[in-house]
Structure formats: C-alpha cells, structure tokens
Amino acid sequence: MIPLYLITGFLGAGKTTFLKKFIKLFADKKLALIINEFGKEGIDGAFFKDTGTALSEISNGSIFCSCKLDQFEQVLKKFVEKEPDLIIIEASGLSNPQNVHKILAQPDFKAVDFKGSICLLDALNFHKVFYSALACKQQLSVADMVIINKTDLVTPENLNQTRRIIEKFRPGVPVFTTSFGRIEEEWLYHLKPGQGKDKPLRQVADITLQKFLLDVAPIKNMEILREFISIIAQDTYRIKGFVSKDGSDWFVDCVGSEIKILLYDGNTDRTNKLVVLTGSGLPALKSIKNAINKLNLSENIIIK
C-alpha cells in the first residue's frame, strides 16, 4: 500500500512553508508530490523542483472540482503506477475536498492507503475567512487534523478564541499549534483518517471566488511594487508570484496587510507574473486599475 497525505488550508495559511518541513520527515523515502493551485499560473511548484521529489502541478482550478478532476485522477493514477513510497497532495487554498474519500475509493486507487487530511489555519486571519469564505469550512469539515499556524502573530486570547470555534465546528478533531509551518513527527500518530468522512460529499461551486493574473515588467523600483501591493491588498485574499530586478528573482507573497518580497535563489520559469485571488464582494479589479493609474504603471503591469 502507498501512504497518501492530503494537505489543505485556506489561502495564506502557510501550506508551502509547512510542506517543505513536512517532506523532511520522509527524507529517506521516494516521494511523489501533487501541487494544486487555483490561479492561472502555478507558483508553489518552483520551491520543490530541486528537492528530487517527483512533482506534478495542476493549476487554474481545484483538483476536486469537475473542471480539474479528470486531470487530477490521471496524474494520481500515473504516480500510483510508479509505486512511490509516499504520495503527498497540497490542495489549492480555495479547494473543496469533501469528495476526497469518494475519489480514493475508486478501483484505480486500491493501492492507496489514505493517511488523512491535515488542515492548516492562519491564526491571524482565521476569523475573517471562516465567516466569509465557504472553502474554509469545507476544508475543516473533512480535516482529520488541524494545525493552527502563525500563532506568533496573535495573542493567547485570540488563539483560544480560534480553538473554541474549531472545537465547536469539529468536536474531537486533533488540534495542534505552531509557527513558521513547523511540525512534530509525533503529531502524525494522532492522525486518524475518516473523522470527517460522514460530512456531505456534495460539491458546491463557490461563485464568490475570482482570480487575476498580472504580467509585470522587470522591476526598477522595489518600493513602487510594494506600494502597489499595499494599495490592492485589502481587497484580495492572496497575492503571490515572482518578479525580477537587476537580474535577480524575487518572491512576492501577500496575505492581508502582511507583505513579503524576498530574494529567491532557486529556479523558476514564471518570473514577472503575479497571481491575485479575491472574492466577488471585494473590489479587487477596481483597486488594481486605480493603483496602476495612481503609480503610473500602465506600461509595467498588465491585467490578464
């Protein structure tokens, strides 16, 4: 049997950082990794290309939705046929994984031993997304373990409030707290698949979700880029991508008011593209256009 772990978590929960640490628990194993991103361009896969892990990326939709389900099943089937020691799936932050048990119950995946779903939560922004984003509750509903990440950014009172919400919504599910995506190997002993199995498997399209792709010319002034992002950030769920400046690549990551622009020394062929994820109730497109006009960036940033 091939063990399989599913990693979920709403946008900005820290799944990619967590996944980097998670795969280190299996350093002596032959891993297969499926990374799913809702945006038109995949970003996260670039962080794993040099790890020696078999990698497949599925972008522009959720692997659990009909639009990408066939592709996901084909990729998973190919990985199963190659008989890796372990399969890890990082689902899109906007995914609804409520049909994961139904998918894995198919004959093509009889060699898969589903170990469970690990759901990451962003301690700082959990209250906002829990009440405003359907996908957050959908991911929690099938979680076999919950890890509250970024606890260093909140007060003990806020953390306890988050715990109470989780315990009310999913009583009995194991809950752990961490920062910077750290995980302890012994936590996996508490992972029991199927705790959310009896939740509805019906897929409901979340029509409130929107996505934009921005083509960005090579950056001359990083502060202008930071100002552009800060203007539109409040009207988005997530902004991320790679930009270039003076021959170097930089990784851009924004969740709420938290903006990170970090030098990237890996390999990526997706430079100068930013993925913006937002909701229909947020005026993101208007904010993007206003920011472009305000900062005179009409020749530098193009909305796709």
Measured between alpha carbons, how far is 66 from 64 in angstroms, rounded to an integer? 7
In 204-260, which ranges are continuous DSSP H helix? 222-233
Neighbours of 222 (CB within 10 A): 14
Q: Which residues of 198-220 are buried (b: 16+ CB within 10 A; e: fewer)?
A: ebeeebeebeebbbbbbebeebe
> Tell me, what DSSP letter sits at residue 96?
-
Q: What is the pLDDT of residue 201?
A: 40
Reference 41, options 272, 231, 255; nearest CA is 272
Measured between alpha carbons, how far is 129 from 120 in angstroms, rounded to an integer? 13
Sign of CA dihedral 164, 209, 15, 32: positive
Domains of the chain and CATH, by start: 2-190 (3.40.50.300), 209-303 (3.30.1220.10)
Q: What is the pLDDT of residue 276?
A: 92
Q: What is the pLDDT of residue 50?
A: 61
Q: Which two tokens stand for residue 228?
A: 């552009």
pTM here is 0.76
Q: What is the pLDDT of residue 238?
A: 86
pLDDT, tens digit only, all 304 positions of the chain? 999 999 999 988 999 899 999 999 998 999 999 998 765 555 555 556 666 678 888 877 788 887 788 999 999 999 999 999 999 999 988 889 999 999 999 999 999 999 999 999 999 989 888 987 888 999 999 999 999 999 999 999 999 999 999 999 999 999 999 999 999 999 999 998 876 544 444 444 454 678 899 999 988 889 999 999 999 998 888 898 999 988 889 999 998 778 989 998 877 777 889 999 887 678 899 999 999 999 999 989 999 8
Three-state SS at 100: helix
In the chain, which ranges are continuous DSSP H helix? 15-22, 66-81, 100-104, 126-132, 134-141, 156-169, 222-233, 284-294
Q: What is the pLDDT of residue 198?
A: 47
